[in-house]
Amino acid sequence: MKPHPEFTALVTADRDRRDNFKTLLSCVLPRPIAFVSTISASGVPNLSPFSFFNGVGSNPPAVIFSPCTRADGTVKDTIVNLREVPECVVNVVPFSIRDAMNEAASAFPPDVNEFEAAGFTPLPSRFVRPPRVAESPVQMECKLVQIVPVGDGPLAANICIAEVLCFHIARELLLPDGTADVTKIDLIGRLGGDDYSTIRDRFALPKPGPK
């Protein structure tokens, strides 16, 4: 292995928050996309993608995603809804629905149903009130455990910790061991700006044994 000959220190406290945001996105990638459906207290569904997302445990199964506060300091509808109805569905995003997912990312008013606006088909969930996305091959029904704020003001994080109550996996992807076939799921990941990636190129690294 060859070490890098030189490094530059970009001290976050000395930089504009937007510059820190751009640098972070360029360094942490590719990021999986949580296509999160929530519902307001009045019954209006919301559907939004978030690339600050990952699985964080299996006992119980849990995920985290973070709808950051907007650049103008307002809170996204997903957070408003979760505070009113602490349930959601985390849908995955394959290549086939990339354009409609991107349309759902538009800044619609709170009374707009993004399922209708972006052309998605809602499916009733078994354990939670928000609907699932029929066009997504994997849907995870979740109950909110906690929202953890990190910072305040524009671009501050709102880390949502959610326990998975139920997995829905399309039959053509379901393997006998209860997992999804990663050779067929064709998910996309977020890079920076307008750029995305696929998971079509893979390699294996067997886990080392005891030393």
Task: Give the per-residue pLDDT at 192.
Answer: 86
Tally Cβ neighbours within 10 Å of residue 204. 4
Please state, rounded to an integer, the average pLDDT across all residues of the chain. 95
Tally Cβ neighbours within 10 Å of residue 134. 15
Task: Give the per-residue pLDDT at 211.
Answer: 83
pLDDT over 90 at 41, yes or no: yes
For residue 18, the one-letter residue type is R
* pTM, 2 dp: 0.93
Confidence of residue 193 (pLDDT cuts 50, 70, 90): confident
Burial category of 200 from C-beta neighbours within 10 Å (exposed 0-12, middle 13-18, buried 19 and up): exposed
pLDDT over 90 at 143, yes or no: yes
Burial category of 54 from C-beta neighbours within 10 Å (exposed 0-12, middle 13-18, buried 19 and up): exposed
- The pLDDT > 70 percentage for the chain reads 100
Length of the chain: 211
Confidence of residue 144 (pLDDT cuts 50, 70, 90): very high
DSSP assigned state of 78: H
